[in-house]
């Protein structure tokens, strides 16, 4: 009898922070992954942590604002097949319109720019998977799957 190996996935929470019709984007630097490209604030979900808890923690660490759990709205999940040794990726996107504190770059060693942009005018150098997710969110599509072919064409594989 053969044993089927269970799928391992790396999970992350992403913030779609909206203000006056715009979304906050951060440009990655010195991380070794998608450096020089913009994406929304995000971070990995730690063992034992819920996706919304990870979002609240990561947002405080990265941009210094406080979010209440009741202000976090789930808007999208994206699946990406394994592109490196860390396994498949499952990304949870949450929208937030209310917070306390000032948006600040709290990790200048990992982020060298913060900008507010409209969903229809994302920077050309937006990470491909986030670009797809934002397009889906704008169309109220709660789920997307990115193929290996898409990842290869986008330089992510």
CATH H-level superfamily of 9-153: Nucleoside Triphosphate Pyrophosphohydrolase (3.90.79.10)
Q: Which two tokens stand for residue 100?
A: 């306390």
What's the gap between Cα 129 and its chain centre?
A: 8
Name the residue with tokens 């986008």.
Answer: 154
Q: For the chain, give the percent of residues with pLDDT over 90.
A: 80
Q: Is a pLDDT exceeding 80 seen at residue 1?
A: no
H helix runs in 43-127, sequence order:
51-63
Q: How many CB atoms lie within 10 A of CB 73?
A: 12
User: Where exactly are the structural domains of the chain?
Assistant: 9-153
Nearest residue to 25 (alpha-carbon basis) of 35, 38, 15, 34: 38
User: Residue 115's pLDDT is what?
Assistant: 98
The answer to whether 97 and 111 have CB atoms below 8 angstroms apart is no
Distance CA 91, CA 143 (A): 10
Distance CA 2, CA 40 (A): 42
Torsion of Cα atoms, 91 then 19 then 64 then 9, to 10°: 0
Mean pLDDT of 65-69: 98
Distance CA 27, CA 113 (A): 5
Tally of residues, the chain: 157
Q: How many CB atoms lie within 10 A of CB 142?
A: 12
**Is residue 41 very low, low, confident or very high in pLDDT (cuts 50, 70, 90)?**
very high
User: Residue 61's pLDDT is what?
Assistant: 97
Q: Is a pLDDT exceeding 90 seen at residue 146?
A: yes
Mean pLDDT of 136-155: 93
């Amino acid at each position: 009898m053969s044993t089927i190996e269970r799928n391992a996935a790396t999970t992350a929470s992403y913030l779609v922070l909206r203000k006056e019709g715009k979304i906050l984007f951060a440009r990655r630097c010195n991380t070794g992954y998608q450096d020089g490209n913009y994406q929304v604030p995000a971070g990995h979900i730690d063992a034992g942590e819920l996706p919304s808890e990870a979002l609240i923690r990561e947002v405080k660490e990265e941009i210094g604002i406080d979010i209440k759990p009741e202000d976090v709205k789930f808007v999208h999940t994206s699946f990406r097949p394994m592109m490196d040794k860390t396994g498949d990726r499952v990304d949870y996107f949450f929208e937030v319109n209310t917070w306390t504190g000032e948006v600040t770059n709290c990790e200048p060693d990992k982020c060298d720019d913060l900008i507010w942009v409209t969903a229809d005018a994302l920077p050309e150098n937006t990470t491909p998977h986030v670009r797809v997710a934002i397009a889906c969110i704008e169309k109220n599509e709660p789920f997307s799957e990115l193929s290996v072919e898409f990842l290869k064409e986008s330089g992510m594989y």
